[in-house]
Amino acid sequence: MKFRYVGIIAMLSMLSMTACAAGTDKSAAKAADNAKPEVVAEIKKVEAVSEKVVVAAAETPATPEAAAAPAVGADGFALPVQKKKSTAPEIKPLASDKSPHDVATDAAKGTLKNPYSYTTMNPDLVEAGKRKYMGVSCNGCHGGNGGGGMCPPLSNETWVYGADDDTLFRLVALGSDELMKQGYTRKGRENVVGPMPAHGKLVKTEDDLWRIIYFIRGNFRGEAKNIKW
């Protein structure tokens, strides 16, 4: 089939060249009209097939791969994909924008309490806390869901220095070495034993740290009777 089309195209080209060489005003189209009947018939067949191919291509739905292909800019490179905005409702901050370090340093021992209630866990707030948790790379040591890794898990029933909010806030903000200087002692042990570095200046605000702690509470995998916060 391909060779036949090539032959037809060659015939048309020769007809056009003949018309030009003769020095006449006849167009290539008129030259084609004077072609042999069998040539004209072949040309019509090619035109019919071409028309069907064009129509079929227009009606064929795009493949998933084509539909998912990234948009390309004038320079030929893919345009950056815009991130979809979260549909989760915005949660109003209940704590201050002071640094966790300053809050832990200024507050009297035993007075720090999460302003976000644990009575009914809010999944949107748990997710918001997880984003803060991931944002300061807590997952690098404690795992993506707090299940542990190179450092102890945050989802079991072992709380090395205590399970209450005040202790946990100070542990994250000031670090374990500072807690021990202030008289805190280990109440539990994990397989991985190592110091907890201070994050009181890495986590931006008091509210951010309370949201991280809320995520930790929401991811607890122990027995309900052992909840002590």
- Which residues of the chain are in CATH 1.10.760.10 domains? 100-226
Gyration radius of the chain's alpha carbons: 37
Measured from the Cβ of residue 168, the count of other Cβ atoms closer than 10 Å reads: 22
pLDDT digits (tens, 9 = 90+) for 20-67: 444 444 554 555 556 567 756 776 776 676 566 555 555 656 555 555
Give residue 15's pLDDT.
Answer: 45
pLDDT digits (tens, 9 = 90+) for 82-112: 666 666 678 999 999 999 999 999 999 999 9
Look up residue 117 and give its amino acid. Answer: S
Q: Is the domain covering 100-226 a CATH 1.10.760.10 domain?
A: yes
Q: Is 78 helix (H, G, I), strand (E, B) or coil?
A: strand
Q: Identify the band that residue 78 occupies on the pLDDT scale cut at 50, 70 and 90.
A: confident
pTM of the model: 0.62
∠ CA 104-167-154, rounded to 5°: 120
Q: Give one word for 137, left, alpha or beta, with left for phi > 0 and alpha for psi -120 to 50.
A: left
